[in-house]
Amino acid sequence: MAFSRDPLDELIVPDGTETQERDVVTDGDVLVGGRSTVEFGVRGRNVLAGEGAEFGGAIEADGDCRLDMWCDVAENVLVGQDAYIGERVHVGGRLKVAGDLDIGDDVEIEEGFEANGWIVIRNPMPTIVFLFVYLKHLLLIGEDDTAQQLVSELLEDDADDADTEPLVIPQNATVGDDAWRVSTPATIGDNCRLHGNVRAETIDVGTSCNIFGSLRARGDIFVGDGTRIHGDVTTRNGDVEVGADARVLGDVSCGDLELGPDAEVDGTIRAAGEITMGTTEREQE
């Protein structure tokens, strides 16, 4: 992850992320900002959620799981290493931890819990809040290398996973089968398969993705080579680029439109500006 700005000011969907039935599945970590609603369950390496985050399914973390106060998980929480559960968290199923469990007051776990390591009942530090406040401070004083080192130590299990970006869901976001709705930019990596309309400030979709929904942004939208968008692509004040061999199975509405070689738009094109065909701006660069 690049830390040139607030780490939670963008929806980041890393390469290979998929929505499988009722879960979002990724190879790396999952970071969920405070007061966000994830209508899916999540499966990843380490799962960290800020204050008041809600999950509509189960959480499965191969590594650690950290849930700050007032989080709500509709189903089970299964943790491969250690768990840190803040006060007043609600778990609708069972909490099962392979390592140590650090748990706060007034936690409700409807089907009970078990941990193979130590169990400490107290009020754990709100990890997400501390982590990102500290990171923002480091960035403000120009300590980019220190910030990167901190994140590497907290979020990476070993050197083999060092290049795996986390799935980042910003604060106050809503992610579900109906829509991935954020008030920030959205970046979707390569080879992703997602269900739901994407609503963001700007949208950048990588190569060879399948998005089963529409794209709508205030600013620019980019669709990578070989990607399929099963819906409309609409921007209020920006331009649209559609990469080579990409296909939009719906309408396109934008300012300027650039279509790469063999790109297709099945619906109606409404472009207030110019339409360029054959080469996208990124290919020219």
pLDDT digits (tens, 9 = 90+) for 91-120: 999 999 999 999 988 999 999 999 999 888
Burial of 184 (0-12, 13-18, 19+ CB in 10 A): buried
pLDDT at position 53 is: 96
pLDDT at position 149 is: 67
Task: State what percent of residues in the chain have pLDDT above 90.
Answer: 75
Question: Rounded mean pLDDT of the chain?
Answer: 87
pLDDT in tens, 5-49: 445 789 999 999 999 989 999 999 999 999 999 999 999 999 999
Q: What's the Cα-to-Cα distance from 86 to each of 68, 90, 157, 281, rounded to whole Å?
A: 5, 10, 23, 48
pLDDT at position 136 is: 59
What is the per-residue DSSP string for 174-198? EESSSEEE-SS-EEE-TT-EEESEE
Read off φ and ψ for residue 267, nearest 5 degrees: -100, -150
pLDDT in tens, 201-230: 999 999 999 999 999 999 999 999 999 999
Token look-up 């970046």 returns 187
Residue 3 pLDDT exceeds 60: no
Q: What per-residue string of b and e applies to 10-27 under the rule 16 or more CB within 10 Å gives b? A: bbbbbbebbbeeebbbbb
Q: Which amino acid is at 255?
A: G
Lowest mean pLDDT among 202-206, 207-211, 242-246, 278-282: 278-282
Would you give the end-to-end CA distance of the chain in angstroms? 23
Domain borders along the chain are 21-167, 185-284
What is the band of 121 on the pLDDT scale with cuts at 50, 70, 90? confident
Question: Could you give the CA distance from residue 36 to residue 274 in angstroms, rounded to a whole number?
Answer: 38
Largest CA distance in the chain: 64
Token look-up 């739901």 returns 196
Question: Could you give the CA distance from residue 96 to residue 112 in angstroms, rounded to a whole number?
Answer: 9
Centroid of chain to Cα 66? 16
Burial of 177 (0-12, 13-18, 19+ CB in 10 A): middle
Q: What's the Cα-to-Cα distance from 117 to each of 23, 52, 59, 101, 148, rounded to whole Å?
A: 28, 27, 20, 7, 30
Whole-structure pTM value? 0.85
Q: In 10 A of CB 36, how many CB atoms?
A: 21
What is the per-residue DSSP string for 53-95? -EESS-EEESS-EEE-TT-EESS-EEESS-EEE-TT-EESS-E
